[in-house]
Structure 1
């Protein structure tokens, strides 16, 4: 009986040790949504835009939770659109009061200059993807950088606490 108890205890310790690593990463659920391809895309809703009224957004992101502790963060991303491709990019905000650098001719954020920390590339409607990154404390912006989507309000603030 003692041998079984020791084996049971050893198995429990091994299992808790292996799941402990999985529990170390913060888990964030991200839903990418829009009002449908037939809806005219809103304009002028980029982060930090003057007179910003996000209630007019025709696209967006739901992020739960919107704050985590610094370290390894896993984003589980689902494109909940019925007919539009979306993506999610993690951008570090060096100065949260300033807009991200933008390429007007391409109608999208300049990812190289903006502080791109990783992405879940273009997801077809209904598809999912994930991204695990090591994030330091600070303010971040999650964006969709498909042409026009960021300016249509497809972004969400995200905080990483110390």
Structure 2
């Protein structure tokens, strides 16, 4: 009887621990090299994009996780460009992010910055742990010009 109760308690503790375990997402910030001319017109929300022509990008694996505590392990895979990763919640995923054309970057205050790993030197890594509710998010690099060259990816948080 005592052994049965102990096994039941151990199973409950294990299940509670699993429910609180953080998801981990590997994020790569990449570009095709400083010698490659930067393309434009690849901002989030632009219709009919051929992302294979983008000169910079972000890859998140997996691209969807369950709601709760999520750790993003970010690596700047570029050989010569400083990059960053900023997470933004998409209130309406069909709408483009607010953009400041004169500064060639997203308006982070209006877009709803949820956290970031900033200014990673080439080859450097960093991490961000956040508690996220279900919904659509976008990960971007907001250095001037990078977002419009394709440095963004959608990310989904499931219930």
> Does the pair score TM above 0.5?
yes
Runs (4+) of structure 1 exceeding 6 A deviation are none
Q: Say which SS state the counterpart of residue 42 (structure 1) adopts.
A: coil
Would you say 1:95 and 2:92 are equivalent positions?
yes
The answer on 1:128 being equivalent to 2:133 is no
SS in 1 for 2:102: helix
Q: Aligned equivalents of 2:58 and 2:48: distance in 1?
A: 20
Partner SS, residue 133 of structure 1: strand
**Alignment partners' CA distance in 2, 1:50 and 1:103:** 19
Residue segments in structure 1 that go unaligned for 5+ positions in a row: 1-12
SS of 1:126's equivalent?
Answer: coil
Q: Which residue of 2 is the match for residue 153 of structure 1?
A: 150
Q: Equivalent residue for 2:3?
A: none
Structure 2 residue ranges without an equivalent (≥5):
1-9
Separation (CA, whole Å) in 2 of partners of 1:97 and 1:48: 7
Q: Is 1:76 aligned to residue 73 of structure 2? A: yes
**By how many angstroms is 1:93 displaced?**
0.3
The alpha carbon displacement at 1:55 in A equals 1.7
Q: How large is the RMSD of aligned CA atoms in angstroms? A: 1.8
Aligned mates of 1:35, 1:151 — CA distance in 2: 15
Deviations 1:31-83 (A, max 9, x none): 11000111100101001113322121000011100000011110000000000
Would you say how many aligned residue pairs link Structure 1 and Structure 2? 147
Provide the residue aligned with 2:57 in structure 1. Answer: 60
CA distance, structure 1, for counterparts of residue 85 and residue 98 of structure 2: 17
Matched, 1:104 2:101: yes
For 1:48 and 1:124, how far apart are their aligned partners in 2?
28
